[in-house]
């Protein structure tokens, strides 16, 4: 519920306020004040993110026999470092790293996060738990709205805008969707407005319901953790479909850079084409 508030501002402040209005992200003075207050008060973003780093990186063998995929460099930095840079742009500095394969090497490199200007807590899979199982393992640390991201994709997303979208739709999970030319290798979103009806896994290009795919980043409410079964589970199969049926799964479409580094070919493409994070005011 919103309440009307009357305030008085001097001309110079109004001029500065008007400079924030672009008609799209910020529509008018009232909206500008609301957005700026949200930023100052810190309720314009989640406060925590979990990075899923437990994979064995089998497609990169023999390199990943000794080096975990989370330590492979792209233009001098690892993918988790780029992700932390993105999150820090939005004031998010509290992270859970879900690790498994070669966990000690990941912990040794990232430590407690202090050298990156963040705080890192670890949860460790003793046996593979899948994408959802790894999140459930960290449930004690995920008591407020949080971000889930795969650790092998470069992304440049306006997390503030995505968070506001998530809250406005009262979603339980909002998945960030990106556009690709050929979606046949991914989970493809079938939408009704902004609501996700289902993800179609690896359809033929001509049969895909859209060119919008799951980018591997999503915003979750803690209640979604209750849906995850015990043991091995994947959120793509065990969580998203249930929430889609309940009309609580939404898709946020973004146009920023996105690179999947999950295969040697895609990794090479990212090295060549990644342009770094967008500089935000």
Q: In this structure, what token pair is assigned to residue 24? A: 């799209």
pLDDT, average across residues 150-156: 92
CA distance 108 to 111: 5
Q: CB within 8 A of 45, min separation 6: which ones?
A: 90, 91, 92, 159, 160, 163
Q: Where are the beta strands (DSSP E) in 113-268?
A: 119-124, 146-150, 153-155, 173-179, 187-192, 195-201, 212-220, 249-253, 258-260
pLDDT, average across residues 110-132: 94
Domain-wise residue ranges, the chain: 47-273
CA distance 252 to 165: 7
Beta pairing class for 212-220 and 195-201: unpaired
Burial class (CB in 10 A: 0-12, 13-18, 19+), 129: buried
pLDDT of residue 220: 97
Better-scored residue on pLDDT, 215 or 280 = 215
What's the DSSP call for residue 180? -
pLDDT of residue 39: 58
The pTM (predicted TM-score) of the whole model is: 0.83
Q: Place 181 in a pLDDT band, splitting at 50, 70 and 90.
A: confident
Could you tell me what percent of the chain has a pLDDT over 90?
A: 56
User: Could you confirm whether domain 47-273 is CATH 1.10.3720.10?
Assistant: no
Q: Place 186 in a pLDDT band, splitting at 50, 70 and 90.
A: confident
Query: Distance of alpha carbon 250 from its chain centroid, rounded?
Result: 13
Which residue matches tokens 């390199």? 63
Please determine, for residue 241, whether its predicted confidence score (pLDDT) is greater than 50.
yes
For 30-80, what is each residue's pLDDT tens digit?
A: 655 655 555 555 566 788 999 999 888 888 899 889 889 999 999 999 999
- Measured in Å, how far apart are the chain's first and last C-alpha atoms? 30
Please determine, for residue 20, whether its predicted confidence score (pLDDT) is greater than 70.
no
Q: In this structure, what token pair is assigned to residue 78? A: 């690892």
For 192-208, what is each residue's pLDDT tens digit?
A: 899 999 888 888 888 78
Q: Confirm if 225 and 172 have CB atoms less than 8 A apart.
A: no
What is the overall mean pLDDT for the chain?
A: 87
Q: CB within 8 A of 29, min separation 6: which ones?
A: 14, 17, 18, 21
Q: Which residues are catalytic?
A: 202
Better-scored residue on pLDDT, 82 or 3 = 82
pLDDT of residue 159: 93
CA distance 238 to 123: 21
């Amino acid at each position: 519920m919103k309440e009307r508030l009357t305030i008085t501002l001097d001309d110079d402040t109004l001029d500065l306020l008007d400079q924030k209005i672009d008609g799209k992200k910020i529509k008018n003075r009232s909206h500008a004040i609301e957005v700026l207050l949200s930023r100052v008060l810190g309720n314009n973003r989640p406060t925590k993110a979990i990075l899923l780093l437990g994979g064995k990186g089998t497609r990169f063998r023999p390199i990943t026999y000794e080096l975990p995929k989370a330590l492979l460099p792209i233009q001098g930095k690892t993918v988790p470092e780029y992700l932390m840079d993105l999150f820090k742009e939005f004031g998010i500095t509290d992270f859970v790293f879900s690790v498994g394969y070669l966990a000690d090497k990941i912990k040794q490199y990232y430590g407690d996060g202090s050298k990156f200007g963040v705080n890192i807590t670890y949860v460790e899979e003793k046996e593979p738990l899948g994408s959802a199982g790894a999140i459930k393992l960290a449930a004690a640390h995920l008591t407020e709205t949080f971000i889930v991201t795969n650790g092998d994709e470069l992304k440049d997303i306006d997390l503030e805008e995505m968070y506001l979208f998530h809250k406005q739709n009262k979603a339980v999970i909002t998945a960030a969707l990106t556009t690709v030319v050929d979606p046949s290798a991914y989970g493809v979103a079938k939408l009704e407005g902004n609501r996700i009806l289902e993800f179609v896994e690896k359809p033929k290009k001509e049969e895909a319901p859209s060119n919008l795919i799951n980018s591997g980043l999503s915003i979750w409410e803690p209640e979604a953790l209750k849906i995850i079964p015990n043991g091995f589970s994947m959120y793509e199969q065990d969580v998203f479909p249930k929430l889609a049926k309940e009309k609580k799964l939404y898709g946020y479409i973004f146009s920023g850079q996105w690179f999947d580094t999950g295969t040697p070919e895609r990794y090479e493409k990212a090295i060549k084409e990644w342009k770094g994070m967008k500089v935000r005011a």
